[in-house]
Amino acid sequence: MNPTKILYSDDEIYLIDKVSGLAVQGGKGITHSLDLDFAKEVGHKVYLVHRLDKETSGLMIVAKTPLAAKKWTKLISSKQVKKEYYAICAGTINPKKGTITEDLEQHGKEKSAVTSYQVDKEWTIDYVDGENQVERINMTNIRLQLETGRMHQIRIHLSKLNCPIAGDDLHGNFKLNKKLKKALKIKSLLLCSKKLSLPINNQIKTFEIPLPSHMDFESYYLDK
């Protein structure tokens, strides 16, 4: 595994860029996990403040001490940390800007869930089947902000709007994903934690990363 990219560090936290395919927390059947591998890299135990799905890449806060973890968990829950995600989806969504407020079932209970979104780009791909029949598939690039932090919230909300994230075989369209994998050579969920705004030293500092290579289809849709 390549070393974890650190974008910011102070006495309390690291701000890192997690790669797709790396589990955040170790457990049964998991060979590599961020909490263990990153601790080895920096030479001390680290503490998770929030989580990203294994296949989700991007910005993530990791605390250096239990006290810092408690502080930053509260900052996130109080919405003082702003998160922006970027998703590449199969389908279209209308209106192009809005808020999804559909409740989600979590651990057997209905929980409120709020996701704000804005369409960034729309484009199409051509899928050619085994009989050389061409099917046009609509694709949408979407920026999203979480107002609540439910498990798989973005993935479920977009799927319910018939605009599932490409590569999402759990909440998305498995049959359509097979076509996308052939047409675009995608191998994982196309969701990235792209931007974080943090309260640091009495001011808001914003960090943003470019899309990882497995989500960079700009040359494809610009050619269309």
- Positions annotated as catalytic residues are 53
Is the bond leading into 3 cis (omega within 30 degrees of zero)? no
Cα–Cα distance measured from residue 92 to residue 87, given in angstroms and rounded to the nearest whole number: 12
Strands (E), the chain: 5-9, 13-18, 47-48, 57-63, 82-90, 97-100, 104-106, 109-111, 115-128, 134-146, 191-200, 203-208
The answer to whether 51 and 35 are in contact (CB under 8 A) is: no
Taking residue 165's Cβ as centre, other Cβ atoms within 10 Å add up to 27
Cβ atoms of 87 and 190 within 8 Å: the answer is: yes
Give the CA dihedral 32, 38, 43, 45, nearest 10 degrees: -90
